[in-house]
Amino acid sequence: MFDIKKILFPIDLDAKEISPLLAALKVAKMLNSEIHIFYVNDIQAGYRHPTDREDAISLKVREAAAEELLDALKIIYSVSKGDLAEEVVKYCKDNNIDLIIVGHKYRHKMYDKIFDSSDIKIIDAVKLPVLVIPQE
């Protein structure tokens, strides 16, 4: 069995659906793992968010999750700028991440033909187990 001590959840600050974030937090609690909430201000996305501070990510998480859940976890907030998949790979290596949890939103086949989704980019780039949480 895997010994999962550190989990990475790449957060999307544009996401209105919080179920993948909540699921990641619950998995971290269940496994008694440290969870890293990581935001990448992606060049390809056009830098939609001017912030590159951990407090913005912390605020988003605190708005989404119950205080009791957050108090039960060791959470590390981190930010970076660059290509999402490349930054996730680098972060995982630098921080000895054991598992990545990503949210997934179903998109029409035509959308898939034109655009890459961030979850697929991450899955293709990393050499780690990835848990995919569908959005409700």
**In which domain, by residue range, is 45 found?**
19-102
Mean pLDDT lowest among 43-52, 89-98, 109-118: 109-118
Domains contained in the chain, number:
1
Looking at residue 83, its pLDDT comes to 85
75 found inside a domain: yes
Q: Look up residue 44 and give its DSSP letter.
A: G
Q: Rounded to an integer, what distance in angstroms lies between the CA atom of residue 25 and that of residue 36?
A: 10
CATH of the domain at 74: 3.40.50.620
Is 50 within the bounds of a domain? Answer: yes
Is pLDDT above 70 for 113? no
> Sheet containing 75-82: which strands, arranged edge to edge?
75-82, 34-42, 6-10, 99-104, 130-134
Residue given tokens 């890293």 in the structure block: 36
Report the pLDDT value the prediction gives residue 128, as an integer from 0 to 100: 85
- pLDDT band at residue 115, thresholds of 50, 70 and 90? very low
Residue 125 maps to a domain: no
pTM (2 decimals)? 0.82
Is residue 121 domain-resident? no
Within 10 Å of residue 126's Cβ, how many Cβ atoms?
Answer: 18
Note the pLDDT of residue 111.
45
Q: In terms of pLDDT, which residue wins out, 22 or 125? A: 22
Structural domain contains residue 94: yes
* Interval 105-117 mean pLDDT: 50
Q: Is residue 5 part of a domain?
A: no
For residues 112 and 6, the model is more confident at 6
